[in-house]
Amino acid sequence: MFKKEIKRVLIIILLVTLCFFFIACDFYELMTANDVEKYDAYVELNNYMVDWLDKTIINYCNVFGDDEEIIMPKKFFSFSTYPILQVHKDIVEKAFVFSTKKPSYGAIDTSVDNLYSPLKELMLILEEIENYYRDEAFLQDDFVKGKELHKQFYHKYIEYLPLASDFLYDLRIIVEESKQEDLERLKEEDYMITYTALKIIYRAQEMQEMLYDLYYEESTIDYNLFKEHYNLLSEDIEDYINYSKDESRRKKENLIDDSAGIYIFTRHVKDMHDNATKLIEILNVESFWEDEEALFDYIEDFNTRLSYAIDLYNTML
């Protein structure tokens, strides 16, 4: 019932996470120590939600279903999942503490405050589920407690979902307001390798957003707009390759010893571009849904390559 909604929310979180990594590179210079601490606390919470918590929830739902009543898999022997660790609890507590501290971040402070209790309770249920199956307690009670825990998980997740959406939305507003400032600052400093790399990521994210409704809601897509972004992405990649070959620029941007990283980043964005090319070809056909499997495969690979490129960007810069 709500698996699609889980994916939808986590996608939004992912978009925010990617943006925040980049902003931190230059934006920190303009922030006070308290700003940075609060900023980091919210980013940490965001990253936990999109990564570990995402995997925990999806992994559980894939085995036991996403409806109120548990779906018991046939020939069930065991279940293991991503555990709820103390470090995760600390991340949630830290973000909540900062939500009441200055400087005020406006609406997002309220969002974190509202999210706190439902998220903690959801994590406690997931932890109990983890222990129940790890200790093989289902063998003693014939899944009686397992069924009860599943219902608790379902209802707590339903409560958590809109509050998580509020947090993500408010966080994303902060990110969007900062994007252009970051690019302009890099361009003014003539950090063109970094500037074009960041443009590639932002451009690919815009394309990724256009693909989300298509992928998860099976809706339509503005092909002409997607093609326009694709053409701009092609130009961004070409510019990046040209700038990154300039040894003096690499030295200026402290990338002189990172030619391997630049090479791998280039390879991933080229692969991402190749996937976008295939998507252009598929989407240009009126009956593109007939090739649904190929369409979804290319979208997933596009997302994976983008994720790799972001990791490399953060490693290099």
pLDDT per residue as tens digits for the range 97-125: 999 998 888 999 999 999 999 999 999 99
pLDDT digits (tens, 9 = 90+) for 248-282: 999 888 886 657 788 889 999 999 999 999 999 88
Residue 25, pLDDT score: 43
Distance CA 109, CA 104 (A): 7
Q: What angle do CA 156, 213, 302 make, to 5 degrees?
A: 105
pLDDT tier, 44 (very low <50, low <70, confident <90, very high otherwise): confident
* Lookup: tokens for 192: 């063109």
Q: Does the predicted model carry a pTM greater than 0.75?
A: no
Q: How many CB atoms lie within 10 A of CB 167?
A: 28
Higher pLDDT residue, 257 or 133?
133
Long-range contacts made by residues 294-297, C-beta under 8 angstroms, separation at least 24?
295/214, 296/215
The whole-angstrom separation of Cα 182 and Cα 195 is 9
CA 116 to mean position of chain CA atoms: 20
Q: How far is CA 164 from the centre of its chain?
A: 13
| Furthest C-alpha separation in the chain | 69
